[in-house]
Amino acid sequence: MMNERVVLVTGAGTGMGRATVRLLAKKGFDVIAATRKAENFADVDDENIRVFELDITDPDSVKKIFEKIERLDILVNNAGYGLVCTVEDMDEAEMLAQFNVNVFGLLRVTKHAILPMRKNGGGVIINISSFLGKIGLPLLTFYNATKYAVEGITDSLRYELSDFGIRVHSVMPGFFDTQFARSNLVMNQKTFSEDSPYSSMVSRLAPQIVDQINNGNDPNDVAELIYRIIEDESFPARVTVGDKASKFIPMRKELSDEDFERRVRDYYGL
């Protein structure tokens, strides 16, 4: 029997989003899988999954999807990607695109989700952030900045929406074995050129990051955690998941800025 609760998952086509859609559908939720490419679910036949095409960078696309949604209880803001680029090499369009997806897109969807949740007398918003929302790494400055922003949005919304019974949480994954490194990392050509002044850093750091993602944790771990957050009204504001997040976030809290930076430099050979 279908669960009466309706869940919207953005970036649902692959990785953590797809794992979350499949698990919540299995649990009986009415799941709206929002993805840029509906064909990502061509192989899925589940009466609990409704597939909608959504481009979170397009306000009209966001507005239209909510015109189709009569009720919404849970929003999982999962859509995002990572720009690998130095600040010196940054192209204006690349910078704006990174924030348009990871920050402004999240805010567009959240804006429209609040009204039906208020009408229902409550709801849950889960923002998929990153452990890099608390920790900086070179070459990922723009991705870091967007995830730091997501953490700030989460903190503020917890105050703003608490009177309406809407819980807001942040999930900070480490590196997971998803399509992220294969299709959701955008490389700036100047940064990765052989004659770049940053070539030494790129050659040391980039292969490590890609390897850690491709050999990371199982995205189903994130899906299980999201389910726990939905079901537990007393769940903490934010939670880490995955080896790297569990290692670095506690260390970040314990050490001074300078000591933590030295640890990161040693770990990545910077």
CA distance 104 to 149: 10
Catalytic annotation present for 268: no
Contact criterion met (CB below 8 Å) for 218 and 177:
yes
In this structure, the dihedral spanned by the alpha carbons of residues 62, 68, 69 and 70, taken in order and rounded to 10 degrees, is 140
Half-sphere exposure of 22 (CA within 13 A, CB side): 17
Annotated catalytic residue, options 143, 198, 267, 268: 143
Q: What is the DSSP string of 111-154?
A: HHHHHHHHHHT-EEEEEE--GGGTS--TTBHHHHHHHHHHHHHH
Which helix (DSSP H) or strand (DSSP E) does residue 97 occupy? helix 92-99
141-161 and 92-99 helices cross at what angle (nearest 10)? 30
CA distances from 211 to 76, 79, 207 (A): 27, 22, 6
Q: Which of 244, 249, 246, 240 shows the shortest CA–CA distance to 222? A: 240
Contact criterion met (CB below 8 Å) for 124 and 164:
no
CA distance 242 to 173: 6
* Catalytic center residues: 143
